[in-house]
C-alpha cells in the first residue's frame, strides 16, 4: 500500500518520473485536504466552547470579591476616605487571589452621575482609596446601569474580559461595582485556520479529479476516524474530563501523516481553553464559601426558586453569638476558627454527606441557613429535638476567654406555603433563641 512505501525506494524500476512526480503531487494535495478537513472540524467544534470558558476566571473572581467585600464598610470608606485594618485585610485577600488565579485585576468602584470613586484596586493598593476616576468611553455608554447598580454583565474590550457585579449594602443601598479583568484566550490560531481552510477548499476542487480510490482509502478513511475522535473531544462540556486515552489516540494513526496531524490536534486540545481541574475549581469557588466549604449566598440566590415547590420544607436560620467580640478581643484568626466550627456542626446535622435535599449556605459573616426539602414531620421533629438537646452549642475553644455559641430558629411547612414567609419566621425565631442563649450563658449583649 502507498502509506507503507518508504521514500528511499528506487521508483525508476517500476514507474516513470512523470508518474512518480504525479504521485508525490497527489500525496501533497491529499495532505492539504486532510489538514483542511481536520482544522475546519476542530475550529467549528472548539469555537463553541472557548467563549464559554473565557469568562470562567473573571466570574469566579467576582464571586470571591462579593464574599470578601462588605458593602456597608465599602460605602463608609468612600465617605471617610480612610482605610482601617479590615480594609487592608480584604485588599490583601483580593491581591492574593489575583496572584494565585487567572485574573489580572479586581476593582471595586463607586459610580455617581458625574464621577467615579475607587474603593479597592489590586493594582494600586491603599494609596488610591476614594480617588476620583474619570468616566471613559465605555463607562459613559453604560453610565445609567453603573449608577443604578442592579445588573450584572460580562464584556470583552480589546484583549481583556471584564465582569461587572453590583455591590450593595445590607439595606440594599447602592455601593458600586466589583469589576474583574482577565485576559482573552489567545486565539491567534483562528487566523491560521481561516487561511488553511481557504487554501484547502481550492486544493480540494483541484485534487478531487486527480486523487485515486487507493489514495482515498489510505488517507480519507483514517481522517474520518481522527475527525470522529476530535468531535468527541470538542463536544465535551467544560466541566467534563477529556479521556487521557482518547487524547493519546489522536497521535496513533497507522498512517504517519495522519498520526502527525493527530499529535498536533492533541497538543491543541491540551493548550486551548481552560483545563478541567481549573474549571472545576472555578465552579466550586463560585458556588461555595472558601472558608467553610458550604454553599455561598450567590448560590443560594440561584436556588431560591427550587424551594417554593417542595412537598415539605424545613428552614433553619443560624447565627453565631459573640463573634464580633471574639474578633475584637482575640483577633480574626480565632473568629475564623469559630465560623469553621459552626459550619462543621451545621453540616453534621445531615446523616448523609451526599444528601441532595440538604442545602447549607453561609449567608454572611456569622449567619448560616439550612434548607431541608421533602422530609416527613417525624424526621423534622427528630432534627429539631437534636438541636434542642445540643443547645447551647459552644463553637469556641475551651482555652478562649470569649465564648461563642450557635443560635438557631426554624420553621416547617408542608405542601402549601410561601417560602419568603417561612424564611422570615425562621429568622424571627432565631433572634428569640439568640436572646435566650445569651441570657442562659450570661453573654454580653453585643
How far is it, in rounded angstroms, from Cα 353 to Cα 301?
22
How far is it, in rounded angstroms, from Cα 148 to Cα 367?
28
Which helix (H) or strand (E) segment holds residue 211: the answer is none
Task: Give the pLDDT score at 414.
Answer: 87
**Are the C-beta atoms of 179 and 193 separated by less than 8 Å?**
no
Task: Give the pLDDT score at 24.
Answer: 58
Instruction: Give the Å distances, CA to CA, from 145 to 106, 113, 263.
Output: 19, 11, 48
Q: Which residues of 424-440 are buried (b: 16+ CB within 10 A; e: fewer)?
A: ebbbebbeebbeebbee
All three cell numbers of 50, joined, read 472557548
How far is it, in rounded angstroms, from Cα 302 to Cα 282?
17
Task: Give the pLDDT score at 352.
Answer: 74
Task: Give the pLDDT score at 107.
Answer: 94
Q: Left if phi > 0, otherwise alpha if psi is -120 to 50, otherwise beta: which for 22?
A: alpha
**Are the C-beta atoms of 339 and 327 separated by less than 8 Å?**
no
All three cell numbers of 360, joined, read 447549607
Task: Give the pLDDT score at 189.
Answer: 47
For the chain, which residues score pLDDT lower than 70?
1-25, 27-28, 35-36, 39-54, 185-197, 199-202, 204-277, 353, 445-446
Helices vs. strands in the chain: H and E counts, helices first: 17, 12
The whole-model pTM stands at 0.42
Burial bucket for residue 369 (CB in 10 Å: 0-12, 13-18, 19+):
buried
Residue written as cell 458556588?
Answer: 287
How far is it, in rounded angstroms, from Cα 439 to Cα 80?
37
Q: What is the pLDDT of residues 211-253, one digit of tens each?
A: 566 666 666 666 666 666 666 666 655 555 555 555 556 555 5
Task: Give the pLDDT score at 57.
Answer: 83
3-state secondary structure of 355: coil
Q: All domains of the chain, ordered by start, with CATH?
A: 2-52+212-271 (no CATH), 73-95+103-183 (3.30.450), 292-441 (3.30.70.270)
Task: Give the pLDDT score at 10.
Answer: 44
How far is it, in rounded angstroms, from Cα 148 to Cα 146?
6
**Gyration radius of the chain's alpha carbons:** 30
Residue written as cell 469556641?
Answer: 396
Amino acid at each position: 500500500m502507498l502509506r507503507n512505501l518508504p521514500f528511499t525506494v528506487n521508483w525508476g524500476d517500476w514507474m516513470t518520473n512523470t508518474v512518480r512526480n504525479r504521485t508525490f503531487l497527489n500525496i501533497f494535495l491529499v495532505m492539504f485536504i486532510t489538514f483542511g478537513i481536520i482544522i475546519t472540524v476542530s475550529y467549528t467544534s472548539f469555537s463553541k466552547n472557548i467563549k464559554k470558558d473565557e469568562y470562567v476566571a473573571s466570574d469566579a473572581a467576582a464571586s470571591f470579591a462579593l464574599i470578601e467585600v462588605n458593602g456597608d464598610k465599602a460605602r463608609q470608606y468612600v465617605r471617610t476616605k480612610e482605610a482601617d485594618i479590615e480594609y487592608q485585610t480584604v485588599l490583601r485577600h483580593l491581591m492574593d487571589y489575583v496572584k494565585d488565579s487567572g485574573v489580572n485585576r479586581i476593582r471595586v468602584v463607586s459610580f455617581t452621575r458625574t464621577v467615579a470613586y475607587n474603593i479597592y484596586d489590586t493594582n494600586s493598593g491603599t494609596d488610591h482609596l476614594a480617588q476620583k476616576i474619570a468616566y471613559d468611553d465605555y463607562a459613559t455608554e453604560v453610565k445609567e446601569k453603573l449608577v443604578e447598580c442592579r445588573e450584572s454583565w460580562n464584556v470583552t474590550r480589546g484583549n481583556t474580559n471584564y465582569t461587572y457585579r453590583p455591590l450593595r449594602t445590607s439595606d440594599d443601598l447602592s455601593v458600586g461595582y466589583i469589576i474583574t479583568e482577565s485576559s482573552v484566550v489567545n486565539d491567534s490560531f483562528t487566523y491560521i485556520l481561516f487561511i488553511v481552510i481557504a487554501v484547502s477548499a481550492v486544493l480540494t476542487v483541484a485534487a478531487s479529479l486527480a486523487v485515486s480510490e487507493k489514495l482515498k482509502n489510505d488517507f480519507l478513511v483514517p481522517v474520518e476516524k481522527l475527525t470522529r475522535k476530535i468531535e468527541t473531544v470538542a463536544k465535551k462540556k467544560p466541566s467534563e474530563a477529556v479521556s487521557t486515552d482518547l487524547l493519546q489516540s489522536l497521535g496513533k494513526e497507522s498512517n504517519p501523516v495522519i498520526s502527525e496531524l493527530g499529535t498536533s490536534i492533541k497538543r491543541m486540545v491540551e493548550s486551548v481553553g481552560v483545563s478541567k481541574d481549573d474549571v472545576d475549581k472555578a465552579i466550586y469557588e463560585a458556588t461555595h464559601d472558601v472558608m467553610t466549604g458550604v454553599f455561598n449566598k450567590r448560590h443560594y440566590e440561584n436556588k431560591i426558586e427550587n424551594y417554593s415547590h417542595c412537598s415539605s420544607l424545613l428552614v433553619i436560620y443560624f447565627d453565631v453569638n459573640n463573634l464580633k467580640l471574639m474578633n475584637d478581643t482575640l483577633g480574626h484568626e480565632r473568629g475564623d476558627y469559630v465560623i469553621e466550627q459552626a459550619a462543621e456542626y451545621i453540616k453534621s446535622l445531615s446523616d448523609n454527606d451526599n444528601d441532595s435535599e440538604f442545602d447549607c449556605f453561609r449567608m454572611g459573616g456569622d449567619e448560616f441557613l439550612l434548607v431541608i426539602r421533602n422530609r416527613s414531620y417525624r424526621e423534622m421533629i427528630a432534627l429539631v429535638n437534636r438541636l434542642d438537646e445540643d443547645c447551647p452549642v459552644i463553637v469556641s475553644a475551651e482555652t478562649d476567654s470569649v465564648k461563642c455559641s450557635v443560635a438557631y430558629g426554624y420553621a416547617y411547612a408542608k405542601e402549601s406555603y410561601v417560602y419568603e414567609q417561612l424564611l422570615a419566621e425562621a429568622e424571627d425565631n432565631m433572634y428569640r433563641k439568640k436572646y435566650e442563649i445569651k441570657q442562659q450563658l450570661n453573654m454580653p449583649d453585643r
